[in-house]
Amino acid sequence: MKPPVSSSSSSSSSSSVLRKPARLSPYLFSLLTFILFVAILYGEDFMCIFGRQLQLRPDLERPVSRPEKKREKLPFAIGRAEEGCDVFNGRWVRDESNRPLYEESECPYIQPQLTCQEHGRPEKEYQYWRWQPHGCDLPRFNATLMLETLRGKRMMYVGDSLNRGQYVSFICLLHSIIPEDAKSMETFGSLTVFTAKEYNATIEFYWAPFLLESNSDDAVVHRVSDRIVRKGSVNKHGKHWKGVDIVVFNTYLWWMTGLKMKILLGSFDDEVKDIVELSTEDAYRMAMKSMLRWVRLNMDRKKTRVFFTSMSPTHAKSIDWGGREGGNCYNETTMIEDPTYWGSDSRKSIMQVIGEVFGKSKVPITFLNITQLSSYRKDAHTSIYKKQWSPLTPEQLANPVSYADCVHWCLPGLQDTWNELLFAKLFYA
């Protein structure tokens, strides 16, 4: 039995419940009023100071207004390019300790049209220059990494003789680490195939100077003055490109026949051919769209890479760089120093077409912009130091300028840099 609750305890409890709330101290009221006044008066300053503290505290989570879109990782890439680095914008620096990347005599795959030392060029200055981008460095070409990446794969260069020169340069950069009995090179019409047997890899070149079907498609006999390109014919050659993992396209020089280009609307087999003339720019635009359409339909963007090399400049008019009238690249052993130099043989209208077509396309393609950096190199052409396929006349011998080749490039030389840029863009996209 519980003891009875005392009356004193009951009255005490009642009084605590019924007690009136205590009045706020006048001192406390004054203090709170002062704090409120200061907060209103200087609130913006406090927020600014507090905001700076948030910025300076990396451990505090900052509010994010818009999430950044994750950049798509390109196939074969092993790292990111340096932020803000344009590898095509830079300068040439002399680097005798690291250049050339191989010796002409050590690469048996160089065609005699490109072996300048073998054909009597008296100096090697053109071999000692390295491209140095502004604000960053090019990764060094790594032949082992390249071959391991190509294991079980196909790589192909498609285009004209300038792309073939880049192709041969690429082989020269790789072949020395492959045993002699584990590599081979064979040509089958328009297709040349270098095989690295231990890697089950092929590096190929396919002759297609316009990319589309043309009357200049014979890989050996193609010197045609009246050039004709067939519209919508990319599959004529494209069937040979299917299945490649990395492809490098180029086309430019063969379009430079004048201001107009002949386009075949039917077939080369038609008895009466339907031919129209387009401006060179419109004809070139047609080819670029056809190439991108082929890429979209035949290349897996998640597994393959596509490159396009811009126009290779010629140096056929020495007045372009302040030389004498009537001269060209013959006897030129120094480069052009003017960083804004652009030769008259490199049509800016064609570069604009490329920019327009590629800019509108959703097809992922990496543009190798070698034009400006190559424009400085009037010293690097084969000039007269190459195999001549026809005997030279007494008039030609008396005037070397008349037969100097100011289109193609000596190897080793400039085109090795093109492949260093390709390497950089392949692995550090």
- Selecting among 175, 237, 240, 408, the annotated active-site residue is 408
Q: How far is CA 426 from the centre of its chain?
A: 8
- Please list, in sequence order, all residues whose beta carbon lies within 8 angstroms of the beta carbon of residue 115, skipping any fewer than 6 positions away: 104, 386, 387, 410, 411
**What whole-number distance in Å separates Cα of residue 408 and Cα of residue 405?**
6
Per the annotation, the verdict on 282 as an active-site residue is no
**What whole-number distance in Å separates Cα of residue 387 and Cα of residue 403?**
12
- Selecting among 160, 161, 312, 416, the annotated active-site residue is 161
The two tokens of residue 149 are 């990446």
What pLDDT, on the 0 to 100 scale, is given for residue 223? 79
The two tokens of residue 366 are 């990496």
**What whole-number distance in Å separates Cα of residue 327 and Cα of residue 251?**
26
The two tokens of residue 43 are 């609130």
Per the annotation, the verdict on 381 as an active-site residue is no
**What whole-number distance in Å separates Cα of residue 174 and Cα of residue 284?**
33
What pLDDT, on the 0 to 100 scale, is given for residue 272? 87
**What whole-number distance in Å separates Cα of residue 196 and Cα of residue 180?**
10
Q: Are 411 and 104 in contact (CB under 8 A)?
A: yes
CA distances from 220 to 128, 174, 208, 212, 427 (A): 33, 26, 12, 17, 34
- Selecting among 245, 345, 379, 405, the annotated active-site residue is 405
Per DSSP bridges, beta strands 366-368 and 305-309 are: parallel
**H, E, C per residue of 239-282:** CCCCCCCEEEECCCHHHCCCCEEEEECCCCCCCCCCEEEEEHHH
Following CA atoms 295, 297, 298, 301 in sequence, which dihedral angle do they give, to the nearest 10 degrees? 70
pLDDT (tens place) for every residue of the chain, 429 residues total: 444 444 333 333 333 333 444 455 655 555 555 555 444 444 444 443 334 333 333 333 333 444 444 567 899 999 888 888 899 999 999 999 999 999 999 999 999 999 999 999 999 999 999 999 998 999 999 999 999 999 999 999 999 999 999 999 999 999 999 999 999 999 999 999 999 999 999 999 999 999 999 999 988 877 788 899 999 999 999 999 999 999 999 999 999 988 899 999 999 989 888 999 999 999 999 999 999 999 999 999 999 999 999 999 999 999 999 999 999 999 999 999 999 999 999 999 999 999 999 999 999 999 999 999 999 999 999 999 999 989 999 999 999 999 999 999 999 999 999 999 999 999 997
User: Based on the number of CB atoms within 10 Å of its own CB, is 139 exposed (0-12), middle (13-18) or buried (19 or more)?
Assistant: middle
What pLDDT, on the 0 to 100 scale, is given for residue 29? 57
Other Cβ atoms within 10 Å of 409 Cβ, number: 25
